[in-house]
Chain A
């Protein structure tokens, strides 16, 4: 069993798996169960100033696949709906009973210096390891000038981060919203404000589905619906890109990152860390399966580390970042072709129709004299797009094989057909 301990923003954690600020971390009862199940830390459900918010009934919508497996959920919940003192008391108790586990206090407030500082200090006094600033909630709270209403304005992100940094002497995580045009602007603002780390992503603004019998967006609250925050495995690619951008851009690359967004399996977690996360947070997967999903995260990651010969998580953290490039840095002389392994082919015909209708007419379908059909790639037509490879229902039936070439690597800026190149010379 590999050593999964890690450090983020100077905080030591038993493992890189924390529960994100959300209903799973709403109260002591849940947090105790989470620690017992094996989670290394929690970010407590976001705290605000009293009086506590009031939630509506009917709160989640769902995006299922055809097997009723949840790909994503969206929610219209607000922040903690329990009094601040109750939350702080429970945090104190959990810190005392579980001294080796990490607790981060998440907070949000209107854009007023005194309010942010007061609240941050009260939370810090409860003994948390750090504070996370929720600047991301894309529903409800933003209509009150909080959450994403702050997170979408880089100047405010910097301001709020600085306020809290000045007020407390524990690490500060600025939690970013993906509902912006360029994540680097808010990440850089957090950095300038003094953030020890950024956490991302919060939920993606969304309408998940419509009740077409009654013509109401879901989830339905007495005849109406509103946009909510989308999360779960469907948002993972959005999160991965934003994390990679922060990790590879000179202005932001020194920020530590708490990666969030759709992490469901140990492999997802490895990917988040390889692209720049120092640790990760999970919400939806725990909501779907219960806290026991951490078992697969821990066991799978450590099994994989043993297989690869890694003895600490730092050894693969950010390992994929150097390979993330701009499109303009890609080699135009690289070429791959689809190869169909006919032994594995079940003759479903899907690669053919996908390529025939929507790509490059590079897969032929021929009747066999003895019955059945044979599918073959026309090398001259195949552009190596990967479409057939991805849609084939049988793993390893279609592979993409690099074509041997003597041509040296050449990028688009260097390419003879690039009109801009001629202009530059």
Chain B
């Protein structure tokens, strides 16, 4: 960043929090929105590469050089359309994508200068610009096909599928178990990535295409079943994400104060003002992924005195990116590697946790060393992975904790497609789920055409 950019960033950050209701609560934008000047300067760093590596690295293949060029020629709304035509949740992805391991990692500007073009920030600038204007929805629906598609789950995968299917002329009904749409955009992503109710604003924008109806409080497996849907719809798409979490398998896990990190984040995301959200004084977070980091950082920002993140292996083994790990450290989270929880300590109330140090044995297996230590805690957040809820998914074959799909996203149940975290495609990321939903809609469209031919 040049001094000029830095100063502007500071300013736009400052301006932002004045307008922003969460002024000092620690939950304002992690990366403040670009000013026009910043967008101009940064867009001009892009080399407009041909067959650009950044595009290949984006799971949704956004035409990055084209959209950045449009920003530099003062056509941000045209840039937004380029983005949204490949990724209808380009706004969330601009905020939540780990760009440092996706598009920005591939940027050729890294090669000689070690500083990628800030693609995510530019993407946000363009999409925000379009969404701030009261324009008609930018995409048109193809003539109605008369086909009915049922979609389970209003997360990124389900909504992306719904949007593309509606665009292709089909009629879509979305069944969502919860009371609000957005999936983890609404309940999971860190609060400082999704300020100003962005998840809901984006869903509203997405539904502007028309032809999509959402029924809330309707869960597959409880309120509806697959066979009934197959009978009354021409095709079904399942985008239920990962509904349950892993347990530590320790005694006392049901003790008050021992929570799922995901539930903690979900509650935090739904609490306004954030200062109303209770948090412990000594918080332990168990895990090594982005969820663990998000939980730890948000606990710290809520005012927890000590937050200790404990991970059973070393930093290089963490699935959290380097950027996320640094974020934890700069937020004052203490990170302890090579230790695993062995006991929850309680005495009428939660007292803390005992850990055993770990190491790799000669064969490379993770083993306890026998040496233990205690950390006091009045709150423990578990972030040791999520898994699907197979009970809800009767009728589809599952392997390795994921619904089996072929290369057209079709499950083992004919006419039933699936995408997002509940299948094994790329990483479990928002952007991958959006891509799955989009590609599945295209596959469903082809399926319906052959079915009726």
Contact = CB atoms under 8 A, between A and B. Distances in A.
Number of contact residues on B: which range applies?
20 to 34
B70 interface: yes
A296 interface: yes
Contacts of A390: none
Interface string B260-304: 000000000000000000000000000000000000000000000
Interface string A338-353: 0000000010100000
Given A393-B4, A395-B40, A290 B50 contact: yes
A267 B36 contact: no
A248 interface: no
A266 B75 contact: yes
Given A395-B37, A395-B40, A299 B75 contact: yes
Contacts of A348: 4
Interface in A383-404: 393-395
Contacts of B70: 296, 299-300
A299 B78 contact: yes
Contacts of A265: 73-74
A257 to B, nearest CB: 23
Contacts of B178: none
B48 interface: yes
A312 interface: no
A289 B44 CA distance: 14
Interface string A258-271: 00000001110000
Contact of B66 (A296, A304, A346, A395): A296
Contacts of A395: 36-37, 40
B69 interface: yes
B141 to A, nearest CB: 15
Contacts of B77: 303
A346 B9 CA distance: 12
B7 interface: yes
Contacts of A304: 75
Contacts of B37: 394-395
A324 B82 CA distance: 36
Interface in A286-314: 289-290, 292-293, 295-296, 299-300, 303-304
Interface string A229-273: 000000000000000000000000000000000000111000000
Nearest to B36: A395
A295 B69 CA distance: 10
Nearest to A302: B78
Contacts of A69: 44
Given A394-B37, A395-B40, A300 B75 contact: yes
A325 to B, nearest CB: 27
Nearest to B66: A295
A424 to B, nearest CB: 46
Nearest to A68: B47
Interface in A57-84: 67, 69
A348 B2 CA distance: 13
Nearest to B4: A346
Contacts of B75: 266, 296, 299-300, 303-304
A266 B7 CA distance: 31
Nearest to B72: A265
Contacts of A289: 48
Number of contact residues on A: which range applies?
20 to 34
A296 B4 contact: no
Given A296-B69, A296-B70, A303 B36 contact: no
Interface centre among B8, B48, B74, B75 (most CB of A within 10 A): B75
A299 B70 CA distance: 9
Contact of A296 (B8, B40, B50, B73): B73
B142 to A, nearest CB: 16
Contacts of A346: 3-4, 7-8
Nearest to B79: A299
Contacts of B69: 293, 296
B1 to A, nearest CB: 13
Nearest to A292: B66
Given A265-B73, A292-B66, A395-B36, A300 B4 contact: no
Interface centre among A67, A295, A299, A304 (most CB of B within 10 A): A299
B66 A300 contact: no
Contact of A267 (B3, B66, B74): B74
Interface string B23-63: 00000000000001100100010001010000000000000
A267 B75 CA distance: 9
Nearest to B15: A343
A267 B78 contact: no
A266 to B, nearest CB: 6
B95 to A, nearest CB: 24
Contacts of B7: 346
Nearest to B70: A296
Given A265-B73, A394-B37, A300 B78 contact: yes
Contacts of B78: 296, 299-300, 303
Interface string B87-110: 000000000000000000000000
Nearest to B135: A306
A393 B7 CA distance: 13
A299 B8 CA distance: 30
Nearest to B65: A292
Nearest to B81: A299
A324 B48 CA distance: 36
Contacts of A266: 73, 75
B73 A267 contact: yes
A395 B41 CA distance: 11
B50 A300 contact: no
A295 B68 CA distance: 12
A67 B70 CA distance: 19
Nearest to B75: A300
Nearest to A265: B73
Interface in B5-26: 7-8
A246 to B, nearest CB: 27
A289 B4 CA distance: 29
A301 to B, nearest CB: 9
A346 B75 CA distance: 26
A172 B78 CA distance: 36
A300 B73 contact: yes
A346 B8 CA distance: 9
A4 to B, nearest CB: 14
A265 B66 CA distance: 12
A299 B76 CA distance: 11
Interface of A: 67, 69, 265-267, 289-290, 292-293, 295-296, 299-300, 303-304, 346, 348, 393-395
Given A290-B50, A293-B69, A393-B4, 16 more contacts: A67-B44, A266-B75, A267-B74, A289-B48, A292-B50, A292-B66, A296-B78, A299-B70, A299-B81, A300-B70, A303-B78, A304-B75, A346-B3, A346-B7, A395-B36, A395-B37
10 contacts: A265-B73, A267-B73, A292-B50, A295-B66, A296-B70, A296-B73, A296-B78, A300-B73, A300-B74, A395-B37
Interface of B: 3-4, 7-8, 36-37, 40, 44, 48, 50, 66, 69-70, 73-75, 77-78, 81-82
List 10 A-B pairs, minimum CB-CB distance, nearest first.
A265-B73, A300-B75, A299-B78, A303-B78, A296-B69, A296-B73, A346-B7, A303-B75, A300-B73, A303-B77
